[in-house]
Structure 1
Amino acid sequence: MAAPLELFCWKGDYGLPSVDVDCLTVLAYAKFAGAPLKVHKITNPWRSPTGTLPALKTREGGSISQPSKIIIHLRKQKYNADYDLSAKEGADTLAFVSLLEEKLLPALVRIEHLLLFHRRFPILFFYPPSLSFCRSARLMSVLCTELSLLHVMSRHLYRDAFECMTLLSQRLGSQKFFFGDFPSSLDAYVFAHLAPLLKIKLPNGKLQQHLNSLNNLQQYCTNILALYFPSDARGHKIHAPPDSSDFGNEPHKRRNQILSALFAVGAMLGYAILTGILTIKRERPQLKNSSHDDEDDEDED
């Protein structure tokens, strides 16, 4: 009997099977394609065979990361949710996935940075070893910029995200899924990008409000959760919005903020040194010439 395919992904919360967009994409596609996966939901990327999440452990003993590569592997194993799509529908899938990544994903990343600010420990403590220090420090530098602009989000990010969701709503219309009665890879990508916006209580709710105003997209995500992830939907616990009053009551808040700030400063300094922005010069003390010293002594005498 062949070994099962094993998927390692971030643990879920808020009624979602995972809180990570990439992991949600793979989980949804596997459900749509009927792929029998043994799923490991974890909170430590070091426990993944690739040091990243999501990661697929194949029957041959290899490991694959990145949603697109995992989906390609599942298709090769004859788990293909796009089998009945026409050439035009395949082209539409590529176009809308690009739209999601270009228009909606940047806003989600910005929101993720805002959420990271409210976590209790510096995020780099949880980053996998496959990330170089330089790359990790660059991320922390970005996060520190976000912390200084905690309640500011660029207007063009909102505009692009709103336009993307509106286009998706118009394309979906009254259909159950984007290409009719059966879900495809496009549904996996769209669901993965929209479901966190629908379910997670965010520091800034403008995108959430816009999604809730698009009734067909809201119902679309709700139906996928109920049909394909019923246990997660049933186990949903209501979380209070992460406003200032909630975080003001966290124990050890000041200590954790200080630790995060110190770690951020260290990461930025390391990044600046590695990239040449900041250089450290060490000057060696010059040794006096012994003969010169003797001459000085003779003069003094």
Structure 2
Amino acid sequence: MAAPMELFCWAGGWGLPSVDPDCLAVLTYARFTGAPLKVHRVSSPWRSPSGRLPALKTRDEGTISKTQQIITHLRKQKYNADFDLSATQGADTLAFVSLLEEKLLPVLIHTFWVDAKNYVEHTRKWYAETIPFPLNFFLPNCMHKQHVERLQLMWGDGYMEDEEKLEKELYRDARECLTLLSQRLGSQKFFFGDSPASLDAFVFSRLAPLLKAKLPNGKLQQHLKSLQNLCNYCTSILSLYFPWDGGDLPTSAPRVGGAEGGDTEEDPHKRRNQLLSVLVGLAAMLGYAFLSGIVSIQRGAVGPAGRQPIALEEEEEEEEE
């Protein structure tokens, strides 16, 4: 029997199966199609075989690390949420996904990673508490830097010239995007009727973190909460497809086992990651000791064989006489 595909994604929180929008999109698409994935919800990208999240480990194509490529691979395996869509609906899917990436995603990055109050009090706090020691001391800041650079690429050279003006324009565009999504959804269960499609996976993965996170500065969040049909839409998908995945799995909940897939919380590289954490911790402590002058390397006198013995000594404070 063929081994199931393995999906590595960020752990859950805020009442969501994963806090990362890209990971959430893949998880949601897989649930929509019934793809047999063995899911590893991890607390660091270092626990992924590619060093990135999400990552899909396949038997034939190795590890795939981009969201759209993962979904394309699932379609090739005959797990296609868009199988019954018409040509017009397929075109609408492309248009709305493009709208999400252009108008909504930049503001989501700004809301969670650039807005100082949200980043310090919410985003960095969650990742620092979730990522294992000692990675939690520097990995959130590295992720923050990556998101800022990504945002600068999206916004162009004008980002640093008049940041306040550009921010207002982008938040205005994001509010208009949410309003348009609300109008397009209307009273339907999903965007194309009673069955979910890939567009629903992308929309849900962008809206759910914004809806569920407890943000100190929730300008865009307040607008989303005013659109009741979008709120009901997210709540419905969570209850239908992730009844036990709201961050922490209840101890009494049944768990799917066996080789045919299902979700699992086990860490496939536990011993390796423990050793890596110890080595990184030792390196950090030694680096601090050398930089602060607690430990130094001094050369002694030249010995008879012409070699200089190297001694590792601790510096002691001079005592006043």
TM-score, L = length of structure 1:
0.69
Using the TM superposition, give the Cα deviation of residue 125 of structure 1 relative to its aligned residue in structure 2, in angstroms.
2.9
| C-alpha distance in 1 between matches for 2:151 and 2:204 | 30
Match of residue 102 from structure 2: 102
Using the TM superposition, give the Cα deviation of residue 236 of structure 1 relative to its aligned residue in structure 2, in angstroms.
9.2
Match of residue 172 from structure 2: 159
Cα deviation code 1:225-261 (max 9, x no counterpart): 0000011249599xxxxxxxxxxxxxxxxxxxxxxxx
User: What SS class does the counterpart of residue 245 from structure 2 fall into?
Assistant: helix
Name the aligned partner's letter for residue 221 of structure 2: Q
User: What SS class does the counterpart of residue 91 from structure 2 fall into?
Assistant: helix
Match of residue 172 from structure 1: 185
Q: 1:206 to 1:20 in 2, by over 3 A?
A: same
Q: 1:138 to 1:28 in 2, by over 3 A?
A: closer
Match of residue 7 from structure 1: 7
Using the TM superposition, give the Cα deviation of residue 126 of structure 1 relative to its aligned residue in structure 2, in angstroms.
2.4
The answer on 1:32 being equivalent to 2:32 is: yes
Spell out the pairing of 1:14-93 with structure 2 (5 A cutoff): 14-60=14-60, 62-93=62-93
| C-alpha distance in 2 between matches for 1:139 and 1:204 | 22
| C-alpha distance in 2 between matches for 1:215 and 1:206 | 16
> Over the residues paired in the alignment, what is the CA RMSD in angstroms?
3.2
User: What SS class does the counterpart of residue 97 from structure 1 fall into?
Assistant: helix
TM-score, L = length of structure 2:
0.64
Cα deviation code 1:74-122 (max 9, x no counterpart): 0000000000001110100000000001111111000121343332569
Spell out the pairing of 1:214-229 with structure 2 (5 A cutoff): 214-229=227-242
Cα deviation code 1:20-42 (max 9, x no counterpart): 01001000000011101100001
Spell out the pairing of 1:134-153 with structure 2 (5 A cutoff): 139=149
The answer on 1:125 being equivalent to 2:141 is: no
Asked if the contact 1:110–1:153 (Cα under 8 Å) also holds between the matched residues in 2, the reply is no
| C-alpha distance in 2 between matches for 1:140 and 1:188 | 23
| C-alpha distance in 1 between matches for 2:182 and 2:119 | 29
| C-alpha distance in 1 between matches for 2:86 and 2:165 | 43
User: What SS class does the counterpart of residue 138 from structure 2 fall into?
Assistant: helix
Asked if the contact 2:8–2:54 (Cα under 8 Å) also holds between the matched residues in 1, the reply is yes
Q: Which moved more, 1:91-100 or 1:106-115?
A: 106-115
| C-alpha distance in 2 between matches for 1:49 and 1:152 | 41
Structure 1 residue ranges (4+ consecutive) displaced by more than 4 angstroms after TM superposition: 120-124, 135-138, 234-237
Count, aligned residues: 227
| C-alpha distance in 1 between matches for 2:147 and 2:98 | 28
| C-alpha distance in 2 between matches for 1:141 and 1:187 | 24
Using the TM superposition, give the Cα deviation of residue 49 of structure 1 relative to its aligned residue in structure 2, in angstroms.
1.1
User: What SS class does the counterpart of residue 78 from structure 2 fall into?
Assistant: coil
Cα deviation code 1:139-174 (max 9, x no counterpart): 4997xxx9xxxx998211210110000000000001
Asked if the contact 1:14–1:236 (Cα under 8 Å) also holds between the matched residues in 2, the reply is no
User: What SS class does the counterpart of residue 81 from structure 1 fall into?
Assistant: coil
Q: 1:201 to 1:153 in 2, by over 3 A?
A: farther
Q: 1:152 to 1:117 in 2, by over 3 A?
A: farther
Using the TM superposition, give the Cα deviation of residue 195 of structure 1 relative to its aligned residue in structure 2, in angstroms.
0.2
Using the TM superposition, give the Cα deviation of residue 136 of structure 1 relative to its aligned residue in structure 2, in angstroms.
5.1
| C-alpha distance in 1 between matches for 2:88 and 2:227 | 26
In structure 2, runs of 5+ residues without a counterpart are 129-134, 153-158, 251-321
User: What SS class does the counterpart of residue 231 from structure 1 fall into?
Assistant: coil
Asked if the contact 2:13–2:246 (Cα under 8 Å) also holds between the matched residues in 1, the reply is no
Match of residue 197 from structure 1: 210
User: What SS class does the counterpart of residue 41 from structure 1 fall into?
Assistant: strand
Q: Which moved more, 1:116-125 or 1:21-30?
A: 116-125
Q: 1:174 to 1:44 in 2, by over 3 A?
A: same
Q: Identity over the aligned pairs, expressed in percent?
A: 64
Asked if the contact 1:7–1:57 (Cα under 8 Å) also holds between the matched residues in 2, the reply is yes
Q: 1:191 to 1:137 in 2, by over 3 A?
A: closer
| C-alpha distance in 2 between matches for 1:141 and 1:198 | 21
Q: Which moved more, 1:66-75 or 1:153-162?
A: 153-162
Asked if the contact 2:26–2:67 (Cα under 8 Å) also holds between the matched residues in 1, the reply is yes
| C-alpha distance in 2 between matches for 1:191 and 1:221 | 6
Q: 1:218 to 1:136 in 2, by over 3 A?
A: closer
Match for 1:182 among 179, 195, 215?
195
Q: 1:198 to 1:97 in 2, by over 3 A?
A: same
Using the TM superposition, give the Cα deviation of residue 66 of structure 1 relative to its aligned residue in structure 2, in angstroms.
1.0
Asked if the contact 1:55–1:66 (Cα under 8 Å) also holds between the matched residues in 2, the reply is yes
